[in-house]
Amino acid sequence: MPKTKRAPTPRPTATPEDILRIHTPEVRAIVEHLRTLVKETVPEAEERVYPGWHAFGYRHPEAGYFCGIFPYDDMVKLYFEHGASLPDPDGLLEGDGKRTRYVVARTEESLRLSDVKDLLRAAVLMAG
């Protein structure tokens, strides 16, 4: 009897709530603030939930993956895929990876919104 091909098993889909449910209200608020900021700054970006990374990733239709939001116990990091190449005159970016850099937010008020928006816009240009 010929072998039949099995359909691939679909990956389970995760929701934002799946990522956020274990976090404090403070961390959840920072994540939601950043999610909104990304959507307002780069409206054409597509958000994806990555349960394996415990993160939210953002892809631009032409530029590809450009940033991700990673919640931790007491902070949230906004990673930039090509952060090492981004202009950062105010020294907002942290990290020493060859390619990525990130902004750390411990409170909503600690986010320098105009600088983060500039980084998001530059990240899309850099990724493309």
- Would you state the pLDDT for residue 120? 96
Walk along the chain (128 residues) and give the pLDDT tens digit of each residue: 555 566 555 555 789 999 999 999 999 999 999 999 999 999 999 999 999 999 999 999 999 999 999 999 999 999 999 999 999 988 999 999 899 999 999 998 988 899 999 999 999 998 87
β-pairing, 46-50 vs 55-60, is antiparallel
Q: pTM score > 0.75 for this model?
A: yes
- Would you state the pLDDT for residue 92? 94
Walk me through the domains of the chain, giving residue ranges and CATH numbers: 16-127 (3.90.1150)
